[in-house]
Amino acid sequence: MNAPLVVGTIMAVGSLAYVLQPLFVDDHPVCPACGRRPEDDAVYCSSCGRRLERGGGGDPE
Ligand SMILES: [Zn+2]
């Protein structure tokens, strides 16, 4: 087995997963009235003022 090739492949896959991670972990808040909001740290909707819900579900609060 070609060890350097295996190590290189693992590093490539790891870095690729790291780069693509934000695409799979959608932590953007969602307004019940307006839908998904672009501001990922917003608490209230900038359009209608409703409290935003987190779509990820990983938030302990
Ligand atoms: Zn809204």
The pLDDT score that the predictor gives to residue 22 is: 63
For the chain, give the percent of residues with pLDDT over 70: 80
C-alpha of residue 48 to centroid of ligand 1, in Å: 4
pTM reported for the whole predicted model: 0.47
Annotated domain spans of the chain: 23-56
45 neighbors 33 (Cβ within 8 angstroms): yes
- What is the per-residue pLDDT for 55? 58
Q: Which protein residues have a CB closer than 5 Å to ligand 1 (ion)?
A: 31, 33-34, 45, 47-48, 50
pLDDT level of residue 21 (50, 70, 90 thresholds): confident
Strands (E), 1-61: 29-31, 35-36, 53-54
